[in-house]
Amino acid sequence: MKQEIRDVAAPADAEERRSKPPVVVYPNETLPPSGLNILQAARQSMTKVDEIIVPPREAGGFRVPKGHFFRIVGREGPQVGDLNLWNADDLSERFFSGKTRALHATHVGVGDRLWSNLPYLRPMATITHDTLGWYGWDNDGAGVHDVIGTRCDPYTNRLLKGNDYHHCCHSNLSRALASATGIPVRDAEMHVHDVLNVFMCTGFTRDTHQYFMKASPVRPGDFIEFFAEIDLLGAISACPGGDCGSGHSSDAAPCYPLGIEIWRPDPTSLAGRNFPEPNAYPRTHGL
């Protein structure tokens, strides 16, 4: 389709039109401060209070009280995780991958926040540590922890391959949410949303701008750590793509477990830090 567009004769001022300077859509200097310095101090006092192991090609649910930290930890081998987050008291508030991407970048790191959907639009979690923070951008333009991809799912798999695979991240997350809440899996599925691709190494090809993946640099012991800004219900799927260096949506790739750790800091270390309320826009929409 793009080729047909290129076949259209360019106007005489094409280069001038192309040479306009890019403008960042959402300059984020005016966001409420993340208070990262307080969190960095608080994490010095924290102790591990719970740990869950998510088997390969499965998802696990977990709860994190507001004011606690949680880590997603690589174990045994390179493994990508697909993360969903909900308000623990209200499933209608959930992680908003698209706006997180618009406010921060295609890939997130320390100091970035995971924002909730409209009309809430508040930080659900703040990233406080990332042992893959050294990776940066590689020669293919790839980085880790993207908010581009959606999650592997059995519908796209049916569309592209014509067969059914039941351990895609979408199905794993649906079963995990059903198990965590007691709601039927078909109802749970409706709450599953676009993910944070934890440890996944992705970018866009330079020639066709297609979404690509390459083998994750994560190794056992690596982790990404978050501070819970509200009471959270989370679920993470150990993607059937494993390190996502070849394929997904099948049993072909080697897959490994993921760890989820819940850490509690000394509450006095958070004194003076405000927890975010839902967005203050009155929802009148001009009426």
In the complex, least distance from residue 248 CB atom to Zn ion, rounded to whole angstroms: 5
CB of 157 to Zn ion, least distance (A): 10
Minimum CB separation of residue 169 from Zn ion in Å reads: 3
- Based on the shown chain and the rule CB under 5 A, indicate whether residue 169 belongs to the binding site for Zn ion: yes
Smallest distance, Å, CB 153 to Zn ion? 8
Reduce the secondary structure of the chain to three states and give it as a string. CHHHHHHCCCCCCHHHHHCCCCCCCCCCCCCCCCCHHHHHHHHHHCEEEEEEEECCCCEEEEEECCCCEEEEEECCCCCCEEEEEEECCEEEEEECHHHHHHHCCCECCCCCEEEECCCCCCEEEEEEEECCCCCCCCCCCCEEEECCCCCCCHHHHHHHHCCCCCCCHHHHHHHHHHHHHCCCHHHHHCCCCCCEEEEEEEEECCCCCCEEEECCCCCCCCEEEEEECCCEEEEEEECCCCCCCCCCCCCCCCCCCEEEEEEECCHHHHCCCCCCCCCCCCCCCCC
Which strands form 223-228's sheet, in the order they lie side by side?
47-54, 258-264, 69-74, 223-228, 123-130, 113-115
Can residue 64 be called a binding residue for Zn ion (CB under 5 A)?
A: no
Count of positions on this chain that bind Zn ion (CB under 5 A): 3
- Label residue 91 exposed, middle or buried (CB < 10 Å: 0-12, 13-18, 19+): middle
Site for Zn ion in 119-158 (CB under 5 A): 152
* Strand duo 113-115 + 211-214: pairing: unpaired
Smallest gap from residue 15 Cβ to Zn ion (A): 42
- Identify which range of 4-12, 105-113, 168-176, 257-265 contacts Zn ion by CB under 5 A: 168-176
Residue 199 or 263: the one with the smaller Cβ distance to Zn ion is 199
Which is nearer to Zn ion, 116 or 197 (by Cβ)? Answer: 197
40 or 156: CB nearest Zn ion: 156
Nearer to Zn ion, 46 or 213 (CB): 213
Which range of residues in 184-192, 202-210, 233-241, 262-270 is near Zn ion by CB under 5 A?
A: 233-241
> Do 85 and 125 contact (CB within 8 A), yes or no?
yes
**Least CB distance from residue 197 to Zn ion, whole Å?**
8
- Which one among 239, 253, 255, 258 touches Zn ion, defined by CB under 5 A? 239
CB of 202 to Zn ion, least distance (A): 12
Say whether residue 235 binds Zn ion (CB under 5 A): no
Smallest distance, Å, CB 229 to Zn ion?
Answer: 26
> Among 15-23, 85-93, 95-103, 161-169, which window interacts with Zn ion (CB under 5 A)?
161-169
Q: Between residues 46 and 200, which has the closer beta carbon with respect to Zn ion?
A: 200
Should residue 255 be labelled a site residue for Zn ion when binding is judged by CB under 5 A?
no
Of the ranges 55-63, 221-229, 237-245, 260-268, which one interacts with Zn ion (CB under 5 A)? 237-245
Q: In the complex, which residues of this chain contact Zn ion (CB under 5 A)?
A: 152, 169, 239
